[in-house]
Amino acid sequence: MMHEKSVTELAAGLRSGEFSSVELVEHYLERIERLDGELNSFITVTAEQAIEQARAADARIAAGDAGPVTGIPIAHKDIYCTNGVKTSCGSRMLDNFTAPYDANVVSRLRDAGAVMLGKTNMDEFAMGSTSESSFYGPVKNPWNTGRVPGGSSGGSAVAVAARLCAAATGTDTGGSIRQPASHCGITGLKPTYGRVSRYGMIAYASSLDQGGPMAQTAEDVAFLLQAMAGFDERDSTSSDTPVPDYSATLEDSIEGLKIGLPGEYFDAGLDEGVRKSVEEAVELYKSLGAEIREISLPNTGLAVASYYVVAPAECSSNLSRYDGVRFGHRCDDPVDLEDLYKRSRSEGFGAEVKRRIMIGTYVLSAGYYDAFYLKAQKIRQLISDDFRKAFEQVDVIMGPASPTTAVALGEMADDPVSMYLSDVYTVMTNMAGLPGISIPVAPVEGMPVGLQITGNYFDEARLLNIAHRFQQNSDWHRLMPEGV
């Protein structure tokens, strides 16, 4: 079946004339209509637009003007602005917002010929680790619909895992690409901060947010990243570091690769099944000629606490613009300006967003700034120093993407601290601005597990090479949930 093929295989089929982009898009749209009612991975499906883009892609292919993603059906996380299409961030606050322009990521992928099937569901304003806080209801894991898919890019992860699209975009502020990729058994890459433009990507925490691709394989992710990455003058944090050919080095040998295993990632908080899967994956790398070294990241224990000061502080600032005046949700019949602000924000934001706004406002307030925010930023620097020292000894760092497999729906609904702690292995990468990838390894009791590989700055090509070599020697990335 077409939907079982990777982006690479679909591209080959399109070029050979085995099927057209229109046929491919119609196939995926039928699957979305049939399967997504239970999964709830999409907020908006853009069927007519997708068929139109597919016809244009077929014309490009016929003219010999096709790239690796031309004609490939993808989905965008509903945090990316899409011209003429609702962009909601999973929130009632933006339920009535139609973006007047395309985000940089959206326009780059469109120019590369990718076809947008729609916008995927997510934790409200990307705040969450379960994709349950959406105004449009929780996203459900296709491996077990009684469990969460991870978050906040849960809709994108589910759409790829359930083969409702060939690939999708996500965003990662503290693990929101890698953790749902782990829970859904797909490949997800968080690039170096600044590698992918944030223009048109609705902000949660500006110094941490980074867009990235999600797909079945590392090879697929390499093609997506090639289209997404690059300097953008409209984003002041965008890097002008040259973009390499990510697929050119996929086949390189990893003989002599030095892999670091932080002792802090394998402590008592790690599920034993997950530990075994990760250790088996490391052994495979060892058999391919890699060298394993024990390392330490001593400030790991401070990462979650410091992250949940920095990120809410930035969110309280970024979300102050949603006041009911110019766009977004506006309360009915306000009696005065203060009432407009209060009721519009109270009605528009959900509980988790309100919680983070309150935390952020508190840590930035007079008398608490030095005690919390400034201290968290100092810890952030210590975390970066830990990684710098580690990369003097090793080429990459490996460990679990999440301490457990996906939890049951509702399990963390009344326990936000447990939800925050589930990000323990991913937030450090964002705090330091480093790239990281999650790839599927051996499942535990039928649920996917992700191996996280962290690299040095702008070392995405090496991460993709290392992930690809693993996938050439394993089949975990080929597994599909039953019933899809």
Which residues are part of the catalytic machinery? Answer: 77, 152, 176
Residues 315, 214, 197, 173, Cα dihedral to 10°: 20
Instruction: Give, to the nearest 10 degrees, the angle between helix 47-62 and helix 7-16.
Output: 60
Instruction: Read off the amino acid at residue 21.
Output: S
Contact 133/90 with Cβ under 8 angstroms? yes
What is the C-alpha separation between 440 and 451, in angstroms, rounded? 6
Q: Which spans in 349-395 are helix H?
A: 351-363, 375-390
What is the C-alpha separation between 470 and 451, in angstroms, rounded? 11
Q: Which residue has the tokens 């009535």?
A: 96
What is the C-alpha separation between 334 and 401, in angstroms, rounded? 46
Contact 349/302 with Cβ under 8 angstroms? no
For the chain, the straight-line distance linking the first and the last C-alpha, in angstroms and rounded, comes to 11
Residue 33 tokens read as 């209509």
Minimal CA–CA distance to 182: which of 153, 209, 208, 211? 153
What is the C-alpha separation between 420 and 389, in angstroms, rounded? 27
Contact 289/428 with Cβ under 8 angstroms? no
Minimal CA–CA distance to 265: which of 301, 226, 304? 301
Instruction: Read off the amino acid at residue 267.
Output: D
Three-state DSSP at 119 gives: strand
Residue 329 tokens read as 């949700």
- Pairing mode, strands 210-215 and 167-172: antiparallel
Instruction: Read off the amino acid at residue 343.
Output: R
What is the C-alpha separation between 213 and 251, in angstroms, rounded? 20
What is the C-alpha separation between 237 and 210, in angstroms, rounded? 11
Three-state DSSP at 54 gives: helix
Q: How far is CA 189 from CA 30, 74, 80, 179, in A?
A: 28, 16, 17, 10
Element (H, E) at 167: strand 167-172
Contact 352/359 with Cβ under 8 angstroms? no
